[in-house]
Structure 1
Amino acid sequence: MGKLSAKCIVAGDSTVGKSTLIQLFRSDGSHFPKNYSLTTTMDVITKTVQIPDSGDIVELFLCDSPGKAMFYEMTEGLWDQPGALCLVFDVTSETSFSNCGRWLQRIKSKTTSPYLPGVLVGNKTDLSGRRAVEKIQAEEWAASHGLEYFETSAKELENFDQPFRALAKSFHRLYQERVENFKSLL
């Protein structure tokens, strides 16, 4: 069994649910934070993901980033050389969706890798009556930037783990491809 480690930057505007999704994933859905507190520093949560049909595991270091600019600027130095990225927006906020482009640029500027596994997460689908960003719009944007798209409702505990499991699989697949490429050079 092999163990890989990936630093995953989780980014997006304030109040989109980044911290809640991470906490739910870490606790396998058993801990939903009842009180909201603004993330002002970089919190790092570690979670191990078993890769199906491989016997391998990926240890994700989920770097929960502040969404407010003044706090982001204090922590951006911690973003160097990410192994994966997770952009989160609120499906009821067009602004949080349009800002994903800015977050993506910031993360990509911190890596030298030509390919960075990533996901786009539309959170708060339980607020469907207030939806401002349509699923097809988000899917198309994600695809155009090489990201997988997922919709979640942290409040309803829907799909909160899927984006992170997909990231672990993508990171594992990329690692395996690099190993095979290296072996072919020998």
Structure 2
Amino acid sequence: CKCSHAGDSAVGKTALTQMFCSDGAHFQKNYTLTTGVELLVKTVSVPETSDSVELFIFDSAGKELFSEMMEKLWEQPNALCIIYDVTNEQSFSNCAKWLERLRARTLGMHLPGVLVGNKTDLIGRRAVEQKRAEEWAEIQGLQYCETSVKEMENVEVPFHILANSFHQLYREKVETFHSLV
């Protein structure tokens, strides 16, 4: 499953991805700006089945100057992950722009997706209320979750949502194919 991550710089895309892929072993206090795309791969078991989904996670730069290069690498993703910082109103507002760019690469197909509000450990600095983000995600056809990479809270949740959603979509396509044969 090719999973494209998007969001503004410094929202925690790289931290979230690295913490998930390393099972919590690599939280760094200082990250350097991602200037391209980093590919991380992890297999996720699908609950109540013997199946698993191999996620190819494309962690991309959030700076505008790199976004044209990213769009080539975003060609035909299977799942979408948009990440924002709950303490940064602008990063939430820009989610619409990131989603539009990713969906422009999906050839009109509906893909599983998740909106992730990160940095929930910064309670006193929250600028985007959870209910507001949940409502926006629902309107956009995305699932929603919140995380704190620093506190290791719900780090695996967005990836499990994507793996389960992709698996369900795959099973539906297989069943449709079998019904046609």
* CA distance, structure 2, for counterparts of residue 13 and residue 84 of structure 1: 18
Q: Which moved more, 1:103-112 or 1:67-76?
A: 67-76
Equivalent in 171, 174, 179 of residue 176 of structure 1 = 171
Q: Tell me the TM-score normalized by structure 1.
A: 0.95
Structure 1 residue aligned with 2:56? 61
Equivalent in 93, 99, 104 of residue 104 of structure 1 = 99
Give SS of 2:44's match: strand
Q: Which moved more, 1:123-132 or 1:26-35?
A: 26-35
Q: Which runs of 4+ in 1 moved over 2 A?
A: none
Alignment root-mean-square deviation, CA? 0.8
Q: Tell me the TM-score normalized by structure 2.
A: 0.98
Structure 2 residue aligned with 1:49? 44
Give SS of 1:89's match: strand
Q: Which amino acid aligns with 2:123?
A: S
Give SS of 1:125's match: coil
Structure 2 counterparts to residues 160-171 of structure 1, below 5 A:
160-171=155-166
Instruction: Determine if the alignment matches structure 1 residue 130 to structure 2 residue 125.
Output: yes
Equivalent in 132, 145, 152 of residue 140 of structure 2 = 145
Equivalent in 80, 83, 89 of residue 88 of structure 1 = 83
Structure 1 residue aligned with 2:149? 154
* Count of residue correspondences: 181
Q: Which amino acid aligns with 2:20?
A: F
Please say if residues 118 and 147 of structure 1, whose CA atoms lie closer than 8 Å, have aligned partners that are also in contact.
yes
How far does residue 137 in structure 1 lie from its aligned partner after superposition?
A: 0.1
Give SS of 1:35's match: coil
Unaligned stretches of 5+ in structure 2?
none
How far does residue 177 in structure 1 lie from its aligned partner after superposition?
A: 0.4
Q: Which amino acid aligns with 2:47?
A: P
* CA distance, structure 1, for counterparts of residue 179 and residue 164 of structure 2: 22
Structure 2 residue aligned with 1:115? 110
Give SS of 2:96's match: helix
Instruction: Determine if the alignment matches structure 1 residue 8 to structure 2 residue 3.
Output: yes
How far does residue 11 in structure 1 lie from its aligned partner after superposition?
A: 0.4
Equivalent in 52, 70, 77 of residue 75 of structure 1 = 70
1:1-20 superposed Cα distances (whole Å, 9 cap, x missing partner) = xxxxx000010000000000
* CA distance, structure 2, for counterparts of residue 50 and residue 36 of structure 1: 29
1:124-175 superposed Cα distances (whole Å, 9 cap, x missing partner) = 0011101000000000000001111000000111001100011000000000
* CA distance, structure 2, for counterparts of residue 52 and residue 125 of structure 1: 26
Please say if residues 23 and 33 of structure 1, whose CA atoms lie closer than 8 Å, have aligned partners that are also in contact.
no
Unaligned stretches of 5+ in structure 1?
1-5
Q: Which amino acid aligns with 2:62?
A: G
